[in-house]
Structure 1
């Protein structure tokens, strides 16, 4: 949940959507993202919309408190029901992210999930995920989360090396994420993900291999691996600017990506999105797949983004301002945009090209199709998929996906 909000037109006070947004809604899945904006400490690389207790002190009082946050967010779920009217769709997926959702007690996260269940219902096979920091859970809290209805959990491991964790300013100790996987399995979680970051200043190839090996040995059925991005305004960016640590290198990132793909593939994980690998189709993150394939989702919480039927909107960032809007009976939306047909075509290419199956060639213009033919000749797109009418990345194409996407759009 990045901290910066885009520009856009004003959001109606009641959150109402144009009729076009709800047209054909029954044919699209509906997902919910619930944002918990609290963290015990702020990691040096993070620019997400999160707040520590010190940052909130004196900037909103009770309205900024995490003690009643579940009740406040529930008001937005009720607003979603009013805005979507008699929409019959149950939630196909629910994803609780942050921040650190597990700073809230399991009962609070369960109450947020219950609000979705009561207002919309959950599909019989609904995927229900929460993110967690390894040092914010224990066997008892994991069991309580499973009892509350969560069936998937994602732990922020980032690295197995202490010195890498120190640069990232992560607070957990090496080995704790692996123990969390075992504890989550014992609690009955069906699916467990570990998040990794590569390219941290001071990390070596051997450090990265050790992190991958530790993650695989822990026994998750899903691994996400992301290159470190130095975001403006973060403490890490300031350290880079002062010359204390080097800027991550693109060539190093490419090498580390290849190491990840080779290691995970050898361990039985298949890539299904550029940064995500799973041991089976059932282990894929269905919530993220809905983002990538154009489903509808409602993002509740400060700074959360939503999209329904080509209308995208985003909430005010501060927890106090968010709570105040809902207490006044107003939408917490800060702005919105209505995507044009061309916007949606380009976005489909941007998102679907990242997937293992790629995007339909029918989305491409004549110039884009010519670029796709060149990409096949250059080994960036798979020839069998192209023959079957799709643009699908090869391993080399994944390394150059951003540039290739610009050519195709």
Structure 2
């Protein structure tokens, strides 16, 4: 009865709902009443109205030439003063996995190959909730993105609904490459082949299905970004802000979400640029921040020197780059420079060393899987 009175009191609910997810998770230990309130789906719906900044990045090693998966996954927080790499965050799952994408506090991953019965897992690393989805007729190269929008489609009293969008690339009779889309809905529990087909000769590259304001985006290895609307099942190819042919250097780029818009981060002889997508159907971009190489070096002299020479020294795309832009979220760029990992804040224009590659494993240099993560209290298991 005491617990029921506490949950019916609007004052604790309104006050606590304004706190960050990290603090609320800790406050669950205060009492049974607080634990019940913070775990209540009505409270979680209210707390999700707050804006949560990126908590950190998941980093998974990948072999450069071998088809087998590497099971080691690291979580690198960005909020703490002293970064500590965590290697057991996803150990609550029943098997080793490969990360596919993240969306509003939930992580999507698949069984590590080889696997006799591959599954897709959707999980919340904070409360260790997870559910599995059967993984049929797909190769390990199929790109799967998670669609979960707690604002437009609030979590229900008994369930949390989401979608999965699987993108596979095939060759047609005309030798043009097709992108095919298959959609899973948690409401029906079934996969369904979409009628939409996108003709694209570029491969999906690095970023793993960025979900922004109801749309999914994938960076390709060309000058295009794939967009897919999971509600009306429409795909579109968006032009990058700058053609690569305009650049003298071999650029580095990645995409990510910030302030409800898709952003494109570009590092070239023009410096570090941040572009915001204004209209996906017209490929209209706006340059929101530009830091020259000289400014970047002066403002972060403890980490950077001779960056113009290092950038120019890379003469072919096959050469190992001195710098890799790996992920972007909420104004924070996650980047590898030489043998260390850094974050760069576009608002502060400051870099912070997070860890060394040696902290992440022996296969961390070439083509790692990196996804951003924002903490969330969202439950997955039915009540």
Q: What TM-score, normalized to structure 1?
A: 0.26
Q: Which has the higher strand share?
A: 2
